[in-house]
Amino acid sequence: MVKGREVRTARLGTAVVISGPSGVGKSTLLAALRRRHPALRFSISCTTRPPRRGETHGVHYYFLEPEEFERRLAEQAFVEHAAVFEHYYGTLKRELLDPVLAGEDVCLDIDVQGAMQIREALEREELLRRCCEFIFLAPPSLAELERRLRSRATDSAGQIALRLGKAREELAFWPRYDYLVINEVLERAVDELELLLEAFRRKTSRLPDGYFDEK
């Protein structure tokens, strides 16, 4: 029992980096994943954008003033950061490292710029190399993505055009991720994410060197 616990705490969790173009249904999909796995952790990002209705500081995001964001940036508190739709977004190092070092899995819902920064950091940081996995969420086709974006009643024509342009650019990044999940039928895409999370728990890179010495 005690031994089992020792092994568990020594095992690293997985940091699952998930990106996908605007309109792919990422929020809906991740909300469905959360419902199935209430204990699954999600990194809380910092952002300088104002909260939307129903969003709470410290739950959905840490909503920061630009000066505060820049202060954290200067302190090198972020593992990645990017400007998305005219606002800054960033993942604090502790949001990724605390769960992973405690052996817990954590999902990072971040854009492609941020994901590529973490990818680059893998070359320098062994810990990140051992714990990060990259999943790209894609629509079945570009035409379907356009249809989904246009059907969002909340966005103005200008916003749609902006999101469409960015979505096209983002879609081109899929080959730089390790896994591709197509969101055609929501429940099936959630099943696929679940399967990947299961597989990640079996990764040898997350186990301590002396794993079998403890047995």
Which runs of consecutive H residues, i.e. helices, occur in the chain?
2-10, 26-36, 66-74, 93-101, 112-122, 126-131, 142-150, 157-171, 186-200
CA torsion, ordered 22, 25, 30, 33, to nearest 10 deg: -160
Contact code string over 70-89 relative to ligand 5GP, x by CB under 6 A: ----------x-x-x----x
The rounded distance, in Å, linking the Cα atoms of 133 and 186 is 21
Question: Which residue is at the shortest CB distance from ligand 5GP?
Answer: 114
How near is the Cβ of 118 to ligand 5GP at its closest, in Å? 9
The rounded distance, in Å, linking the Cα atoms of 185 and 28 is 12
How near is the Cβ of 131 to ligand 5GP at its closest, in Å? 17
Q: Name which position in 11, 34, 37, 49 contacts ligand 5GP (CB under 6 A).
A: 49
69 binds ligand 5GP (CB under 6 A): no
Q: Which positions from 109 through 168 interact with ligand 5GP, judged by CB under 6 A?
A: 109-111, 113-114
The rounded distance, in Å, linking the Cα atoms of 24 and 137 is 7
How near is the Cβ of 138 to ligand 5GP at its closest, in Å? 13
- Sign for the CA dihedral angle at 193, 196, 201, 203 comes to negative
Which C-beta is closer to ligand 5GP: that of 10 or that of 171?
A: 171
Residues in contact with ligand 5GP by the rule CB under 6 A: 45, 49, 80, 82, 84, 89-91, 109-111, 113-114
